[in-house]
Amino acid sequence: MRYTRGVFPLLANEAVHSGFMHKLIAAAFDPQWNLEHQGMIFAIVFCVLFISGVGIPAPEDIPLTIAGFSTFKQCQDQFIFHNFALTFIFVVIPILGGDLVAYHMGKRWGFGLRDRWKFLRSALSDARIAKVRDWFDRYGAFTVFMGRQVAGVRFVTFFTAGTMRVPLRKFVAFDFLGCLVSVPVWLTLGVLASRYGQQWLHFAMRRVGMSFLLGSIAAILVFALTVKLKNRGKIAVSEDRL
């Protein structure tokens, strides 16, 4: 264990001094590299956003941030409105497509689908269903807009909208309205990361070294895992009470 602790920071610092990390960062922040690989980048973004909508546990914020990041780079580190408008349209298509699949799944099969497809039991837990149904009782179809803003309940919101026979036009309208609010936020964060991220990363590597960066990343992951486990515990307690 002591040997591992001593060798790991040494290898990490060696990677920095050898220029490996600088080359990796330079590639990601290179406008030409982003132009040459734009097909692959946006194909991945499209697929992840779509499968996220159909119940696969894939976060939307990461591919949306990548889309904003790469678009800014492909514009030669400039904000060109029509390019970002096209990116917005591009990412909204798989988002709405995945959400519509979830809606029609709920409309056609209902919550009995959990017994047929086991991977849906977590996403369609009793606690989440009860929470979303309460929202529908209080706010009606506006719940679709609310669900789009809250990670973790998007799929169950759209699935429940289908089971409750929310009119398709209302569903699409409120879902798109939700996209108008949330998607530009993540695209903007991608632009900020593209504009200032490289300077920060190089500064951090020069000043504090890779060991500190890796330690910080590990701490963030541990914190995120702890929060996730606590949330699962709360959900389990809520389900027991139900």
For the stretch 145-162, pLDDT in tens is 999 988 888 999 999 999
Say yes or no to pLDDT of 220 above 60: no
Distance CA 177, CA 195 (A): 28
The whole model's pTM is what?
0.73
Greatest Cα pair distance, the chain, in angstroms, is 63
pLDDT: which is higher, 209 or 230? 230
First to last CA, the chain: 46
Distance of alpha carbon 188 from the chain centroid? 14
**26-30, 92-96, 170-174, 223-227: which has the minimum mean pLDDT?**
223-227
pLDDT of residue 102: 94
Predicted pLDDT at 148: 92
Buried residues in 202-221 as b, exposed as e (16+ CB within 10 A): eeebeeebbeebeeeeeeee
79 neighbors 191 (Cβ within 8 angstroms):
yes
Instruction: Write down the pLDDT at residue 215.
Output: 57
Digit-coded pLDDT (tens) for 4-13 = 444 445 444 5
Residue % of the chain over a pLDDT of 70: 72
Phi-psi category of 92—alpha, beta or left, where left has phi over 0 and alpha has psi -120 to 50?
A: alpha
User: What is the predicted pLDDT for the residue at 43?
Assistant: 96
Q: Are 166 and 141 in contact (CB under 8 A)?
A: yes
**pLDDT over 60 (residue 214):** no
